Amino acid sequence: MTDNSRRDTYIHGNLDKLTTIGTVQGNVLIVNEKAIKDNLGRIQGALSSRHLYPVENVSDYIKVIIKSNRFGRKIQLQVPQGMTIKALIDFEVDLLGLPWRKSLDELMISFNFRYYVVYQGKKVPLNKTLRDANIHDGAELELSIVAIWTDEVEEVEGVEAKNGLAVMYEIGGRMQQLATREAARKARGVITTSKIKSWANSFFTFVDELGELTKGNEANSH
């Protein structure tokens, strides 16, 4: 058992949706124009008070290639150079269906995900535009995904220790809680850094599966 209930580690989505937003060439998903404009328009409407950037001015669009520390597939996008990094992250998360929070209920482990853009080895401030960050046409960016995990067993036991068992449950509920925790401990075994990384990565594997699915569909069509 780990000594703290929270850790930071550098470490879902709709696969059917991804097959309709672009085409795969080699290891790159090239997102089509319709998917880009649909998602930009939706985010612009939701975030217009905080993030103002052009959607219709196509002359201001640049091509960027996104890679990540949590999946192998690269994503090629055409985006406005005047959009902020925060807006770019929101756009990517919305477009791909990436998670902000996920839980492994059977293990009583939960994750909160944080997203950052890294360019030329440096994290770009969220309020900077692509233009301000000197991100040019054809630039390759890294979508760095940080997972903050919580051991829900330790969290519940900490609340119990603070408030007292009698306050928390009746006898029947208490027995069920103990059984659930014991099952979670048995299923996950000793928690290690490699296990945490693997569990967190599992919520992003669908991006890498896209190419295989597309190849399979192409093979079946012949």
> Can you tell me the distance from the alpha carbon of 53 to that of 37, in angstroms, rounded to the nearest whole number?
12
The closest of 144, 146, 86, 85 to 112, measured between CA atoms, is: 146
The closest of 188, 168, 190, 189 to 178, measured between CA atoms, is: 168
> Can you tell me the distance from the alpha carbon of 177 to that of 175, in angstroms, rounded to the nearest whole number?
5
pLDDT at 75 over 70: yes
DSSP state of 132: T
User: pTM for this one?
Assistant: 0.76
70 CB neighbour count, 10 Å cutoff: 22
**Token pair listed for 19:** 């097959």
Q: How confident is the model at residue 25 (pLDDT cuts 50, 70, 90)?
A: confident
**Token pair listed for 139:** 């630039």
Pairwise pLDDT comparison (218 vs 28), residue with the higher score: 28
> Can you tell me the distance from the alpha carbon of 47 to that of 44, in angstroms, rounded to the nearest whole number?
5
**Token pair listed for 176:** 């069920």
Q: What is the pLDDT of residues 184-217, one digit of tens each?
A: 999 999 999 999 999 999 999 998 876 545 444 5
Q: SS3 for 136?
A: coil
The closest of 139, 136, 141 to 121, measured between CA atoms, is: 141
Q: Please give the pLDDT value at position 23.
A: 84
Q: How confident is the model at residue 18 (pLDDT cuts 50, 70, 90)?
A: low
State which of 34-43, 48-57, 129-138, 149-158 shows the largest mean pLDDT. Answer: 129-138
> Can you tell me the distance from the alpha carbon of 108 to that of 101, in angstroms, rounded to the nearest whole number?
14
Average pLDDT over residues 91-120: 95
Average pLDDT over residues 153-180: 69
> Can you tell me the distance from the alpha carbon of 159 to that of 168, in angstroms, rounded to the nearest whole number?
9
Structural domains of the chain ordered from first start: 10-150+193-209 (3.10.20.90)
49 residue type, one letter:
S
The closest of 101, 115, 88, 114 to 31, measured between CA atoms, is: 88
Q: SS3 for 2?
A: coil
Pairwise pLDDT comparison (49 vs 64), residue with the higher score: 64
Q: Please give the pLDDT value at position 17.
A: 54
Q: Please give the pLDDT value at position 74.
A: 95
* Percent of the chain whose predicted confidence (pLDDT) is above 70: 71
Q: SS3 for 39?
A: helix
pLDDT at 52 over 50: no
